[in-house]
Structure 1
Amino acid sequence: MRRLIKGWLLGVLITGLFANIVMADEIRPAFLSLLEQTNHQYQVNFKVPLHNGTRLSLQAQFPAHCAAISAPSVQQDELISNQRWQIQCQHSLAGQSLQIKSLNNTRTDVLLRVEFADGSLDMQRFTPAQTQLQIAKPDSRLSIAASYTHMGIEHILIGWDHLLFVLCLVFIAGSLKRIILTITGFTLAHSVTLLATSLNWVQVPIAPVEAVIALSILFLACELLRADKTSLTWRYPALVSSTFGLIHGFGFAAVLTEIGLPQNGFATALLFFNLGVELGQLIFIGSLLLLAWIVRQFCTIKRQDLLHTTAYTVGTVSAFWLVERTVSFF
């Protein structure tokens, strides 16, 4: 009983120290997409998140030689405001600078995606510390592959819900062989739903998906705490990871839907985004194994205490997410 109480208290303490993780989904990134059409005309799509029901006061500032030729049309739901309009520029935006006004007063980023008429793609990120960027025009296929690989890696490494799910899988799998099999199952499963959603074969509302993702993490946290080696989860972790991986794939697909896939190079973008996600997972798992080796060299921590602490920490965070995302339905 004392060990359980100690694990619970330590888990709550760690959760408090990493409160930003718990609130990771409070403010989503914004997306600014520019699609070049004919004669340096661009279709602009600016998705700005809502905070407490109010749109963040972000404004895209284009070069002086660009002017709007249509009034913005606005669509808004409970999470995001989406503005669409067209601008006409005297010459290409390649090599030009863009700025996001008021971004320095927020805690969010703005992903910039510029697709040129020849299919080449430039993807960059505005931050509160860097509100102005210069648009590049790299080679088409190479730029798409590099941009979407980077985006996949970045998404998984800042996606705390996916990382906590993988963390629990690593603990449950235990040996390197079982970890490889378990993560492979997770990868194959979420690749299937990512592909199906991107090709519009399946469409699922994102809000319930995010709630189920939180539930999957809470389930694994409970399994960690029980540590019943005879349970289905502990005996066949690859089966469990594959089952929940189908749901997590819808979450990855939602990110691609917001970012958008290029008209030219659709398959390349999809392939390399998925590759980036897998590279991000491998980086995370490699870091976990390295950390575990270092801890074993310098500390003596009982595995059961570590399991309890991890279970309570992950369980507290995922339970919060589950409640928060379920309440958002109403």
Structure 2
Amino acid sequence: MRWVICLLVYVLCAWPAAKANAHALDPGYLEIRQISSDAWSVHWRKPDVNGQPMAIDAVLPEGCTPMRGPSPTSDGRAWVSSWIVECHADIAGRPIAIDGLEAQKNDVLVRLHPLKTEPTTLRFTPETAVQTIPSEQTTWSVFATYALLGFEHILEGWDHLLFVFALFILVREPWRLVGAVTAFTLAHSITLALATFGVLSVPGPPVEAVIALSIVFLAMEIVKGEDGRFRLSKQKPWIVCFGFGLLHGLGFAGALADIGLPSNDIPAALLAFNLGVEAGQLSFIGALALLLAIWRLMARSISQSATVIAAYGIGSVSMYWLIERISGF
């Protein structure tokens, strides 16, 4: 019975701690903005990998000079470079490539701002490192792109997954769990929107530290949950999750700031990103529920000691994140 939860603790705890970074999603971002009939300004942001720029490079369409940019410099979080290119022909219908992306696990968002047509967003993956620039883009394509980004972000954000995992252990009643997750989603949607529109601005490091602290809190509630006392986290978990969701939304806002949003489709992109996050959370909970059902068929009961082991595993890793993030202030 215990091996199932121990395996989950290892996957969700030991691995992200070894990476020393709770957010795995750190995509590249390339912005190409037309400034005249034959000139474009280019801003290229490469993810940081152990203090060095990721081994990828943007290759602009033929006819643009230069096709590659200068060496990037670090801004503390990523490696950036900016330059001006001359393109003597229309770049629509021409291929653009992210060289080296096929050997990576990250995505790259490319945002094009022509003078006479609507902006276009392209999502490059290791499987699609070369794409043709379309002549126009619909709101639906923006929606689909950001929904997938939200889905991938929650499934690659180890601290957010660990929070949901702790909530899954703490709240046993399905209806309470669904209500708590819904409250969490509503709350992070609020702060994500406020931060995106510039109404709310909070430095990233304290937010990340408090997110880790929220997981420590849930781990402690799991351990203390059997003492017979009234606990808000178990009786009305939606209240606790709403409060912590406000904080996690600021963490999502930091990820979106790195990714960038299409200026003319911000509402659609925000809605899509939130729906993608919610779909990712529900998929994760569904996978846990399936695993738990299989476990119960095999064992007929859940071992209390295994639950305690999971709680201490969650608490240990979240404390590691908390100390690491505070020391980064």
| Common fold by TM > 0.5 | yes
Q: Which amino acid aligns with 1:119?
A: E
Give the aligned partner of residue 324 of structure 1.
Answer: 324
* Alignment partners' CA distance in 2, 1:295 and 1:12: 13
Give the aligned partner of residue 309 of structure 2.
Answer: 309
State the SS of the aligned residue for 2:30.
Answer: strand
Q: Which amino acid aligns with 2:21?
A: D
Using the size of structure 2 for normalisation, the TM-score is 0.84
State the SS of the aligned residue for 1:63.
Answer: coil
Structure 1 unaligned regions, length at least 5: 1-5
Query: In the alignment, which of 154, 157, 170 is matched to residue 156 of structure 1?
Result: 154
Give the aligned partner of residue 231 of structure 1.
Answer: 231
Give the aligned partner of residue 29 of structure 1.
Answer: 26
Give the aligned partner of residue 197 of structure 2.
Answer: 199
> CA shift at 1:275, angstroms?
1.4
Q: Which amino acid aligns with 2:29?
A: L
> CA shift at 1:143, angstroms?
0.8
1:182 has 2:180 as partner: yes
> CA shift at 1:48, angstroms?
2.1
Tell me, yes or no, if the aligned pair for 1:41 and 1:86 is still in contact at 8 Å. Answer: yes
1:20 has 2:19 as partner: no
> CA shift at 1:296, angstroms?
1.4
* Alignment partners' CA distance in 2, 1:142 and 1:57: 32
CA 1:224–1:264: 2 relative to 1, 3 Å: same
* Alignment partners' CA distance in 2, 1:145 and 1:293: 34
Tell me, yes or no, if the aligned pair for 1:69 and 1:88 is still in contact at 8 Å. Answer: no
* Alignment partners' CA distance in 2, 1:20 and 1:237: 28
Q: Indicate the larger mover: 197-206 or 58-67.
A: 58-67
1:94-173 matches, within 5 Å, as: 94-103=92-101, 108-117=105-114, 118-119=117-118, 121-127=120-126, 130=127, 132-137=129-134, 139-173=137-171
> CA shift at 1:298, angstroms?
2.4
Tell me, yes or no, if the aligned pair for 1:46 and 1:83 is still in contact at 8 Å. Answer: yes
CA 1:102–1:146: 2 relative to 1, 3 Å: closer
CA 1:13–1:285: 2 relative to 1, 3 Å: closer
Tell me, yes or no, if the aligned pair for 2:26 and 2:255 is still in contact at 8 Å. Answer: no
Tell me, yes or no, if the aligned pair for 1:119 and 1:265 is still in contact at 8 Å. Answer: no
Tell me, yes or no, if the aligned pair for 1:15 and 1:317 is still in contact at 8 Å. Answer: no
> CA shift at 1:74, angstroms?
6.3
* Alignment partners' CA distance in 2, 1:83 and 1:28: 21
State the SS of the aligned residue for 1:34.
Answer: strand
1:58 has 2:56 as partner: yes
* Alignment partners' CA distance in 1, 2:243 and 2:260: 26
Give the aligned partner of residue 297 of structure 2.
Answer: 297
Structure 2 unaligned regions, length at least 5: none
* Alignment partners' CA distance in 2, 1:243 and 1:18: 23
* Alignment partners' CA distance in 2, 1:17 and 1:283: 15
Q: Indicate the larger mover: 153-162 or 30-39.
A: 30-39
Using the size of structure 1 for normalisation, the TM-score is 0.84
Give the aligned partner of residue 83 of structure 1.
Answer: 81
Give the aligned partner of residue 3 of structure 1.
Answer: none
> CA shift at 1:42, angstroms?
3.8
